[in-house]
Structure 1
Amino acid sequence: MSAFTLHDLEAIIASRAAASAETSYTKKLLDKGAAHCAKKMGEEAIEVVLAGAGETRDRVVAEAADLLYHLLVLLKARDISISEVEALLKSRTAQSGLDEKASRKDA
């Protein structure tokens, strides 16, 4: 059995985006637009931070899963694939993290 990947989750999100909002939480989120999806992702990010700072390991894992799901929903809302994000991450590994961060325009 192969491992479950973010690409698998991305495909599930795409499938559910085509479903009815009456049966799909993903569709409900997407129907509310990218700004709503971003807000939801931000809420999940805060929950990961709080869990990471002092809750159980299982709670951190659960909140991280929620965050990854909501990140992929936001990417779907903005028509961005996980492959695009991976490509950027790959390009960043060509140099040290400190050099890459210093080279950013907004650094």
Structure 2
Amino acid sequence: MKKYHKAIRDKIPEIIEKSGQTCNVKTLSDDQFLIELEKKLAEEVSEYQNDKNPEELADLLEVIYKIAKLKGISKDKLESMRIIKAKERGAFESNLFLIGIGKKETL
């Protein structure tokens, strides 16, 4: 049996079994699953960076939403936090790229 040791979506065991294979899974506590989701987040970022597949962005959102939920933050609250931060610090609409920061010269 090939070993994976990673967080998976809820329907993956069913999909594996329908393909004629077997799988071994266990249910983790919220604290344990949060640790695994943080690893999954890095995995999904890497997959997007390698493939540039927009579906990987959906996977990222799914992981982010579950992490937020485990931390007691709803999707609506997360979106509200995003909007507030965008108002305070801006978003990424202008394609800005910071090259450096220096001290202002006094005249």
Q: Which has the higher contact order (CA 8 A, sep 6+)?
A: 1
More helix by share: 1
Provide TM-score, normalisation by structure 2: 0.49
Provide TM-score, normalisation by structure 1: 0.49
Q: Decide which structure has the larger Cα Rg and report it.
A: 2
